[in-house]
Amino acid sequence: MSRRQPVGPETTYTGTVPQPLDQMRLELDRTAVQQGWVVGPASTREQAVLVRGMSASSFGTTLYVQLVPDAAGTRLVFHPREAVPSLFDWGRNKRKVQRLLVALGGTLDGTRGA
């Protein structure tokens, strides 16, 4: 039996990466594409819209990432949204966020709304 905590659909994750915003924005796009995300056309300097289509285990995810300048580099605020909302994601979105943050050299600072 799994001991993972259920996570609701409105959960937000925050992380910090020790790079300036403009450099981080370019690196985020490159890393996301390497991990199978598509950078959406609605992306701006301060917000990335990352989309992953349907797979055997998901109907698809859109990951909204706000980039905020911070004394330690850039703070990233992740807002995952599933194409078909569910009551729980069982940690899938947290793992997606952590995978991106680790590849960017950052750390997960917090989770809100769980």
What the block records as the tokens of 30 is 């490159």
pTM of the shown model = 0.81
Instruction: Quote the mean pLDDT of the chain.
Output: 83
The structural domain count of the chain equals: 1
The alpha carbon of residue 30 and the mean position of all alpha carbons in its chain are separated, in whole angstroms, by: 14
Query: pLDDT by residue (tens digit) across 63-77?
Result: 999 999 999 899 999
Indicate if the pLDDT at residue 1 is higher than 90: no
**Structural domain includes residue 3:** no
Evaluate whether residue 69 is within a structural domain. Answer: yes
Structural domain of residue 66, as residue ranges?
12-112
Tens digit of each residue's pLDDT (9 = 90 or more) over 51-105: 987 655 567 789 999 999 999 899 999 998 876 565 455 667 889 999 999 999 9
Give yes or no for residue 13 having a pLDDT over 50: yes
The answer to whether residue 22 is domain-embedded is yes
39 within domain boundaries: yes
Q: Could you list the beta-strand ranges (E) of 18-95.
A: 38-39, 47-52, 61-70, 73-82
